[in-house]
Amino acid sequence: MSSRRGATTGAEGRLVRRVDAEVLRWREENLTAVARRPPDPPMTQIWIKPDSEGYTKCIERPKNRYRTNSTTTGYIIAEANGGLNQMRLGISDMVAVAKLMNATLVIPTLDHKSFWTDPSDFKDIFDVQHFKETLEDDIMIVDSLPPDFKRLKPYIRAPKSWARASYYRAFTRTLKKAKVVKFTHTDSRIVNNGLPPSIQRLRCRANYEALRYNQEIEELGNTLVDRLRNGSNHYIALHLRYEKDMLSFTGCSHNLTYQEAEELREMRLKVQHWKEKEINSKERRLQGGCPMTPREAALFLKAMGYPSTTKIYIVSVQGHRRYEGFRKTINPDRHKLVELIDKLDEGTIDWTEFASEVKMHHENRIGGPRQRLSGRSPRHEEYFYANPLPGCLCKRNTQDQVA
Protein backbone atom coordinates (compact mmCIF):
# COMPACT_ATOMS: atom_id res chain seq x y z
CA MET A 1 0.00 0.00 0.00
CA SER A 2 1.95 2.97 -1.27
CA SER A 3 1.57 6.73 -1.36
CA ARG A 4 2.81 7.87 -4.73
CA ARG A 5 4.41 11.22 -5.39
CA GLY A 6 5.31 11.34 -9.07
CA ALA A 7 6.37 7.68 -9.23
CA THR A 8 6.08 5.50 -12.32
CA THR A 9 3.76 2.50 -11.93
CA GLY A 10 3.05 -0.67 -13.89
CA ALA A 11 0.30 -0.89 -16.44
CA GLU A 12 -2.06 -3.07 -14.48
CA GLY A 13 -4.84 -1.78 -12.30
CA ARG A 14 -7.99 0.20 -12.12
CA LEU A 15 -8.82 3.64 -10.83
CA VAL A 16 -11.18 4.02 -7.89
CA ARG A 17 -12.26 7.64 -7.45
CA ARG A 18 -14.51 7.50 -4.38
CA VAL A 19 -15.67 5.00 -1.81
CA ASP A 20 -19.16 5.79 -0.55
CA ALA A 21 -20.92 4.79 2.64
CA GLU A 22 -23.02 2.13 0.98
CA VAL A 23 -19.94 0.28 -0.28
CA LEU A 24 -18.32 0.55 3.14
CA ARG A 25 -21.53 -0.72 4.75
CA TRP A 26 -21.00 1.58 7.71
CA ARG A 27 -23.79 1.81 10.20
CA GLU A 28 -25.45 5.15 10.93
CA GLU A 29 -23.60 5.73 14.18
CA ASN A 30 -20.24 5.21 12.46
CA LEU A 31 -21.12 7.73 9.76
CA THR A 32 -22.17 10.24 12.42
CA ALA A 33 -18.86 9.74 14.19
CA VAL A 34 -16.99 10.36 10.94
CA ALA A 35 -18.92 13.60 10.43
CA ARG A 36 -17.84 14.79 13.90
CA ARG A 37 -14.16 14.15 13.22
CA PRO A 38 -11.78 17.09 12.88
CA PRO A 39 -10.72 18.13 9.37
CA ASP A 40 -8.29 15.95 7.46
CA PRO A 41 -4.64 16.56 8.44
CA PRO A 42 -2.44 18.64 6.13
CA MET A 43 -1.52 16.79 2.96
CA THR A 44 2.18 17.14 3.70
CA GLN A 45 1.79 15.05 6.87
CA ILE A 46 -0.04 12.08 5.38
CA TRP A 47 2.01 11.94 2.18
CA ILE A 48 5.52 12.63 3.44
CA LYS A 49 7.96 9.73 3.04
CA PRO A 50 9.91 8.29 5.98
CA ASP A 51 13.51 9.16 6.81
CA SER A 52 15.88 6.95 4.80
CA GLU A 53 18.46 7.22 7.63
CA GLY A 54 21.20 7.50 5.02
CA TYR A 55 20.44 4.18 3.33
CA THR A 56 20.65 3.99 -0.45
CA LYS A 57 20.84 1.23 -3.04
CA CYS A 58 24.23 -0.42 -3.41
CA ILE A 59 24.30 -3.18 -6.00
CA GLU A 60 27.68 -2.65 -7.66
CA ARG A 61 29.52 -5.77 -8.77
CA PRO A 62 32.63 -6.55 -6.76
CA LYS A 63 35.68 -6.37 -9.03
CA ASN A 64 36.28 -10.10 -8.69
CA ARG A 65 32.72 -10.99 -9.73
CA TYR A 66 32.74 -9.75 -13.34
CA ARG A 67 32.24 -12.45 -15.97
CA THR A 68 35.55 -12.68 -17.84
CA ASN A 69 34.98 -15.47 -20.41
CA SER A 70 32.31 -17.38 -22.31
CA THR A 71 32.83 -20.81 -20.75
CA THR A 72 29.61 -22.37 -19.52
CA THR A 73 28.62 -25.50 -17.64
CA GLY A 74 25.45 -25.85 -19.71
CA TYR A 75 22.11 -24.22 -20.42
CA ILE A 76 19.20 -23.51 -18.08
CA ILE A 77 15.68 -23.34 -19.45
CA ALA A 78 13.40 -21.75 -16.85
CA GLU A 79 9.61 -21.94 -16.98
CA ALA A 80 8.42 -19.09 -14.77
CA ASN A 81 5.18 -19.82 -12.92
CA GLY A 82 2.47 -17.83 -11.15
CA GLY A 83 1.22 -14.29 -11.70
CA LEU A 84 3.31 -11.57 -13.33
CA ASN A 85 4.93 -10.35 -10.11
CA GLN A 86 5.68 -13.91 -8.99
CA MET A 87 7.21 -14.72 -12.38
CA ARG A 88 9.32 -11.57 -12.29
CA LEU A 89 10.83 -12.50 -8.94
CA GLY A 90 11.31 -16.10 -10.05
CA ILE A 91 13.21 -14.96 -13.14
CA SER A 92 15.44 -12.80 -10.94
CA ASP A 93 16.20 -15.86 -8.83
CA MET A 94 17.02 -17.90 -11.95
CA VAL A 95 19.62 -15.26 -12.86
CA ALA A 96 21.24 -15.89 -9.48
CA VAL A 97 20.99 -19.66 -9.99
CA ALA A 98 22.70 -19.37 -13.38
CA LYS A 99 25.53 -17.46 -11.69
CA LEU A 100 25.88 -20.06 -8.94
CA MET A 101 26.00 -22.87 -11.54
CA ASN A 102 28.15 -20.97 -14.08
CA ALA A 103 25.38 -21.68 -16.58
CA THR A 104 23.92 -19.88 -19.58
CA LEU A 105 20.33 -18.76 -19.08
CA VAL A 106 17.89 -19.09 -21.97
CA ILE A 107 15.34 -16.24 -21.99
CA PRO A 108 12.66 -17.66 -19.65
CA THR A 109 9.20 -18.69 -20.77
CA LEU A 110 6.17 -17.30 -18.94
CA ASP A 111 3.27 -19.15 -17.35
CA HIS A 112 0.30 -19.59 -19.71
CA LYS A 113 -1.54 -22.21 -17.65
CA SER A 114 -2.22 -20.71 -14.23
CA PHE A 115 -5.32 -18.79 -13.14
CA TRP A 116 -4.86 -15.82 -15.47
CA THR A 117 -3.99 -17.91 -18.60
CA ASP A 118 -2.17 -14.91 -20.09
CA PRO A 119 -0.61 -15.83 -23.48
CA SER A 120 2.14 -13.17 -23.27
CA ASP A 121 5.76 -14.15 -23.80
CA PHE A 122 8.83 -12.54 -22.22
CA LYS A 123 9.34 -10.14 -25.14
CA ASP A 124 5.68 -9.04 -24.95
CA ILE A 125 6.24 -7.66 -21.45
CA PHE A 126 9.93 -7.01 -20.87
CA ASP A 127 12.69 -5.24 -22.80
CA VAL A 128 14.78 -8.25 -23.85
CA GLN A 129 17.81 -6.30 -25.03
CA HIS A 130 17.97 -4.23 -21.84
CA PHE A 131 17.71 -7.42 -19.76
CA LYS A 132 20.65 -9.00 -21.57
CA GLU A 133 22.83 -5.89 -21.60
CA THR A 134 22.29 -5.11 -17.91
CA LEU A 135 23.41 -8.59 -16.90
CA GLU A 136 26.08 -9.26 -19.54
CA ASP A 137 28.89 -8.87 -16.99
CA ASP A 138 27.19 -11.38 -14.69
CA ILE A 139 25.95 -14.30 -16.80
CA MET A 140 25.49 -15.35 -20.40
CA ILE A 141 21.92 -15.00 -21.70
CA VAL A 142 20.68 -16.35 -25.04
CA ASP A 143 17.34 -16.12 -26.83
CA SER A 144 17.21 -19.86 -27.49
CA LEU A 145 19.33 -23.00 -27.36
CA PRO A 146 22.07 -23.35 -29.99
CA PRO A 147 21.12 -25.81 -32.78
CA ASP A 148 23.37 -28.62 -31.47
CA PHE A 149 21.74 -28.44 -28.03
CA LYS A 150 18.15 -28.38 -29.28
CA ARG A 151 18.51 -32.06 -30.16
CA LEU A 152 19.39 -32.97 -26.57
CA LYS A 153 16.77 -34.19 -24.12
CA PRO A 154 16.85 -31.76 -21.17
CA TYR A 155 16.99 -32.95 -17.59
CA ILE A 156 13.66 -31.76 -16.16
CA ARG A 157 13.32 -30.81 -12.50
CA ALA A 158 11.29 -28.58 -10.19
CA PRO A 159 14.01 -27.15 -7.92
CA LYS A 160 13.61 -27.51 -4.18
CA SER A 161 11.77 -24.60 -2.54
CA TRP A 162 13.93 -22.17 -0.54
CA ALA A 163 17.10 -23.98 -1.65
CA ARG A 164 20.51 -22.84 -0.44
CA ALA A 165 23.45 -21.98 -2.69
CA SER A 166 25.01 -25.38 -1.92
CA TYR A 167 21.98 -27.12 -3.48
CA TYR A 168 22.57 -25.45 -6.84
CA ARG A 169 26.34 -25.84 -6.72
CA ALA A 170 25.85 -29.57 -6.16
CA PHE A 171 23.30 -29.64 -8.99
CA THR A 172 26.04 -28.38 -11.32
CA ARG A 173 27.22 -31.99 -11.70
CA THR A 174 23.86 -32.89 -13.24
CA LEU A 175 24.02 -29.92 -15.58
CA LYS A 176 27.53 -30.87 -16.76
CA LYS A 177 26.28 -34.33 -17.65
CA ALA A 178 22.94 -33.37 -19.24
CA LYS A 179 24.14 -30.09 -20.86
CA VAL A 180 20.57 -28.75 -20.69
CA VAL A 181 18.38 -28.50 -17.57
CA LYS A 182 14.76 -27.38 -17.57
CA PHE A 183 13.44 -25.93 -14.30
CA THR A 184 9.64 -26.23 -14.30
CA HIS A 185 9.09 -23.86 -11.37
CA THR A 186 10.79 -20.62 -10.38
CA ASP A 187 8.71 -19.40 -7.41
CA SER A 188 10.58 -19.25 -4.09
CA ARG A 189 13.31 -21.59 -5.28
CA ILE A 190 16.15 -19.91 -3.40
CA VAL A 191 16.54 -18.80 0.22
CA ASN A 192 15.97 -15.24 1.40
CA ASN A 193 19.05 -15.13 3.61
CA GLY A 194 22.44 -16.79 3.92
CA LEU A 195 23.56 -16.19 0.32
CA PRO A 196 26.87 -14.52 -0.64
CA PRO A 197 26.51 -10.71 -0.75
CA SER A 198 27.42 -10.67 -4.46
CA ILE A 199 24.52 -13.03 -5.22
CA GLN A 200 22.07 -10.91 -3.24
CA ARG A 201 23.16 -7.84 -5.20
CA LEU A 202 22.76 -9.77 -8.44
CA ARG A 203 19.17 -10.67 -7.51
CA CYS A 204 18.48 -6.97 -7.04
CA ARG A 205 20.17 -5.99 -10.30
CA ALA A 206 17.99 -8.51 -12.10
CA ASN A 207 14.71 -7.52 -10.46
CA TYR A 208 15.03 -3.77 -10.04
CA GLU A 209 17.30 -2.86 -12.97
CA ALA A 210 17.36 -5.53 -15.69
CA LEU A 211 13.68 -6.48 -15.83
CA ARG A 212 12.37 -3.29 -17.40
CA TYR A 213 8.98 -3.28 -19.11
CA ASN A 214 9.02 -2.81 -22.87
CA GLN A 215 8.44 0.62 -24.38
CA GLU A 216 4.73 0.13 -25.04
CA ILE A 217 4.01 -0.81 -21.43
CA GLU A 218 6.27 1.93 -20.05
CA GLU A 219 4.41 4.54 -22.11
CA LEU A 220 1.04 3.21 -20.96
CA GLY A 221 2.25 3.35 -17.34
CA ASN A 222 3.36 6.97 -17.75
CA THR A 223 -0.01 7.87 -19.27
CA LEU A 224 -1.83 6.33 -16.30
CA VAL A 225 0.39 8.23 -13.86
CA ASP A 226 -0.32 11.53 -15.64
CA ARG A 227 -4.05 10.88 -15.41
CA LEU A 228 -3.81 9.93 -11.76
CA ARG A 229 -1.96 13.14 -10.94
CA ASN A 230 -4.42 15.35 -12.80
CA GLY A 231 -2.95 18.53 -11.33
CA SER A 232 -1.79 16.88 -8.09
CA ASN A 233 1.23 14.76 -7.22
CA HIS A 234 -0.69 12.60 -4.76
CA TYR A 235 -2.44 9.26 -5.17
CA ILE A 236 -2.36 5.84 -3.53
CA ALA A 237 -1.16 2.62 -5.15
CA LEU A 238 -3.05 -0.15 -3.33
CA HIS A 239 -1.87 -3.76 -3.49
CA LEU A 240 -5.14 -5.26 -2.31
CA ARG A 241 -4.50 -8.93 -3.21
CA TYR A 242 -8.27 -9.48 -2.99
CA GLU A 243 -8.36 -11.75 -6.02
CA LYS A 244 -10.12 -15.01 -6.68
CA ASP A 245 -7.01 -17.18 -6.82
CA MET A 246 -5.54 -15.58 -3.68
CA LEU A 247 -8.78 -16.03 -1.73
CA SER A 248 -8.96 -19.65 -2.83
CA PHE A 249 -5.32 -20.33 -1.95
CA THR A 250 -5.57 -18.73 1.51
CA GLY A 251 -9.03 -20.15 2.25
CA CYS A 252 -10.40 -16.70 3.09
CA SER A 253 -14.16 -16.32 2.63
CA HIS A 254 -15.07 -13.56 5.09
CA ASN A 255 -18.25 -11.73 3.97
CA LEU A 256 -18.73 -14.06 0.99
CA THR A 257 -21.89 -16.06 0.37
CA TYR A 258 -21.93 -19.82 0.95
CA GLN A 259 -21.96 -20.40 -2.80
CA GLU A 260 -18.96 -18.10 -3.33
CA ALA A 261 -17.02 -19.80 -0.52
CA GLU A 262 -17.78 -23.23 -1.98
CA GLU A 263 -16.61 -22.11 -5.42
CA LEU A 264 -13.28 -21.03 -3.92
CA ARG A 265 -12.98 -24.30 -1.99
CA GLU A 266 -13.61 -26.36 -5.13
CA MET A 267 -11.00 -24.32 -6.98
CA ARG A 268 -8.47 -25.01 -4.19
CA LEU A 269 -9.15 -28.75 -4.33
CA LYS A 270 -8.51 -28.82 -8.07
CA VAL A 271 -5.08 -27.18 -7.91
CA GLN A 272 -2.77 -30.10 -7.24
CA HIS A 273 0.30 -28.18 -6.06
CA TRP A 274 -1.67 -26.24 -3.40
CA LYS A 275 -0.95 -28.52 -0.47
CA GLU A 276 -3.35 -27.04 2.11
CA LYS A 277 -6.92 -28.04 1.20
CA GLU A 278 -9.16 -27.74 4.28
CA ILE A 279 -8.82 -24.27 5.84
CA ASN A 280 -10.78 -22.61 8.65
CA SER A 281 -11.55 -19.21 7.12
CA LYS A 282 -12.52 -17.50 10.38
CA GLU A 283 -9.39 -18.73 12.16
CA ARG A 284 -7.16 -17.74 9.24
CA ARG A 285 -8.61 -14.20 9.22
CA LEU A 286 -8.17 -13.72 12.99
CA GLN A 287 -4.53 -14.78 12.59
CA GLY A 288 -4.02 -11.99 10.05
CA GLY A 289 -3.60 -14.45 7.18
CA CYS A 290 -6.26 -13.04 4.85
CA PRO A 291 -6.07 -10.20 2.32
CA MET A 292 -8.03 -7.16 3.43
CA THR A 293 -11.48 -6.90 1.89
CA PRO A 294 -12.23 -3.71 -0.06
CA ARG A 295 -14.28 -2.49 2.92
CA GLU A 296 -11.48 -3.21 5.39
CA ALA A 297 -8.98 -1.39 3.15
CA ALA A 298 -11.29 1.63 2.93
CA LEU A 299 -11.75 1.74 6.72
CA PHE A 300 -7.99 1.50 7.18
CA LEU A 301 -7.20 4.34 4.76
CA LYS A 302 -9.87 6.54 6.32
CA ALA A 303 -8.50 5.88 9.80
CA MET A 304 -4.97 6.73 8.63
CA GLY A 305 -6.26 10.14 7.58
CA TYR A 306 -6.54 9.84 3.81
CA PRO A 307 -9.56 11.81 2.52
CA SER A 308 -12.38 10.08 0.63
CA THR A 309 -11.46 12.04 -2.52
CA THR A 310 -8.06 10.32 -2.70
CA LYS A 311 -7.39 8.60 -6.00
CA ILE A 312 -6.54 4.92 -5.63
CA TYR A 313 -4.76 2.74 -8.15
CA ILE A 314 -5.08 -1.01 -7.62
CA VAL A 315 -1.62 -2.34 -8.39
CA SER A 316 0.94 -5.04 -7.63
CA VAL A 317 4.19 -3.90 -5.98
CA GLN A 318 7.07 -5.70 -4.32
CA GLY A 319 10.17 -4.14 -2.83
CA HIS A 320 10.71 -1.34 -5.36
CA ARG A 321 9.49 1.30 -2.89
CA ARG A 322 12.34 0.65 -0.45
CA TYR A 323 14.89 0.15 -3.20
CA GLU A 324 13.98 3.50 -4.81
CA GLY A 325 14.58 5.56 -1.68
CA PHE A 326 12.07 4.46 0.96
CA ARG A 327 9.01 6.06 -0.58
CA LYS A 328 6.10 5.96 1.82
CA THR A 329 4.76 2.41 1.87
CA ILE A 330 2.24 1.39 4.53
CA ASN A 331 2.34 -2.27 5.51
CA PRO A 332 -0.98 -2.96 7.27
CA ASP A 333 -0.92 -5.05 10.43
CA ARG A 334 -3.74 -7.34 9.30
CA HIS A 335 -3.89 -9.24 12.57
CA LYS A 336 -4.49 -6.05 14.57
CA LEU A 337 -6.77 -4.52 11.93
CA VAL A 338 -9.13 -7.50 11.99
CA GLU A 339 -9.38 -7.19 15.77
CA LEU A 340 -10.09 -3.43 15.61
CA ILE A 341 -12.58 -3.65 12.72
CA ASP A 342 -14.55 -6.36 14.51
CA LYS A 343 -14.68 -4.18 17.64
CA LEU A 344 -15.86 -1.23 15.54
CA ASP A 345 -18.60 -3.33 13.96
CA GLU A 346 -19.66 -4.71 17.34
CA GLY A 347 -19.89 -1.18 18.75
CA THR A 348 -17.37 -1.80 21.55
CA ILE A 349 -15.21 1.08 20.25
CA ASP A 350 -16.24 4.23 18.39
CA TRP A 351 -14.65 5.73 15.29
CA THR A 352 -12.34 8.05 17.24
CA GLU A 353 -10.90 5.14 19.25
CA PHE A 354 -10.61 3.03 16.10
CA ALA A 355 -8.72 5.69 14.14
CA SER A 356 -6.41 6.42 17.07
CA GLU A 357 -5.54 2.74 17.52
CA VAL A 358 -4.94 2.23 13.79
CA LYS A 359 -2.55 5.19 13.61
CA MET A 360 -0.70 4.14 16.76
CA HIS A 361 -0.13 0.58 15.51
CA HIS A 362 1.17 1.82 12.15
CA GLU A 363 3.58 4.54 13.25
CA ASN A 364 6.52 2.27 12.43
CA ARG A 365 4.98 0.50 9.43
CA ILE A 366 5.33 3.23 6.78
CA GLY A 367 8.26 1.89 4.79
CA GLY A 368 11.31 3.25 6.61
CA PRO A 369 14.60 1.32 6.85
CA ARG A 370 14.29 -1.93 8.76
CA GLN A 371 16.60 -4.92 8.80
CA ARG A 372 15.19 -8.12 7.31
CA LEU A 373 15.50 -10.85 9.92
CA SER A 374 15.83 -14.59 9.49
CA GLY A 375 12.83 -16.60 10.66
CA ARG A 376 12.32 -20.07 12.06
CA SER A 377 12.20 -21.30 8.45
CA PRO A 378 12.54 -19.64 5.02
CA ARG A 379 8.85 -20.19 4.37
CA HIS A 380 7.87 -18.08 7.40
CA GLU A 381 10.34 -15.22 7.19
CA GLU A 382 10.22 -11.88 5.41
CA TYR A 383 10.66 -12.15 1.65
CA PHE A 384 13.97 -10.89 0.28
CA TYR A 385 12.45 -8.80 -2.50
CA ALA A 386 9.89 -7.21 -0.17
CA ASN A 387 12.73 -5.82 1.96
CA PRO A 388 16.19 -6.07 0.35
CA LEU A 389 17.93 -4.79 3.50
CA PRO A 390 20.44 -6.24 4.12
CA GLY A 391 21.66 -7.17 0.66
CA CYS A 392 21.04 -4.26 -1.68
CA LEU A 393 20.71 -1.22 0.60
CA CYS A 394 23.43 0.25 2.76
CA LYS A 395 24.77 3.42 4.32
CA ARG A 396 27.44 4.70 1.99
CA ASN A 397 29.88 5.59 4.76
CA THR A 398 29.77 2.03 6.12
CA GLN A 399 29.09 0.13 2.91
CA ASP A 400 30.29 -3.44 3.01
CA GLN A 401 31.62 -4.54 -0.36
CA VAL A 402 32.52 -8.06 0.72
CA ALA A 403 31.97 -10.48 -2.16
Average of pLDDT values for 203-219? 96
Mean pLDDT of the chain: 85
**β strands within 144-233, DSSP E:** 155-157, 180-183
**Which of 1-10, 100-109, 390-399 is most confident?**
100-109
Q: What 3-state DSSP class applies to 150?
A: helix
13 vs 354, more confident: 354
Average of pLDDT values for 259-279? 91
How confident is the model over 105-126, as pLDDT tens digits?
Answer: 999 999 887 766 788 999 999 9
Report the topology of domain 54-213+366-395: Rossmann fold (3.40.50)
Q: SS3 breakdown of the chain: % helix, strand, coil, rounded to 5?
A: 40, 10, 45
- The whole-angstrom separation of Cα 180 and Cα 147 is 12
Least confident of 87-91, 145-149, 339-343, 393-397: 393-397
Q: Is the pLDDT of residue 195 over 90?
A: yes
pLDDT at 32: 46
Average of pLDDT values for 359-380? 85
Which residue ranges make up each domain of the chain? 54-213+366-395
pLDDT at 11: 40
Residue 81 — pLDDT band, cuts 50, 70, 90? very high
pLDDT at 1: 59
Average of pLDDT values for 380-386? 89
Average of pLDDT values for 11-16? 39
The dihedral over CA atoms of 252, 84, 381, 363, expressed in degrees to the nearest 10, equals -80
Contacts of 145 (CB under 8 A, 6+ apart): 75, 77, 106, 180
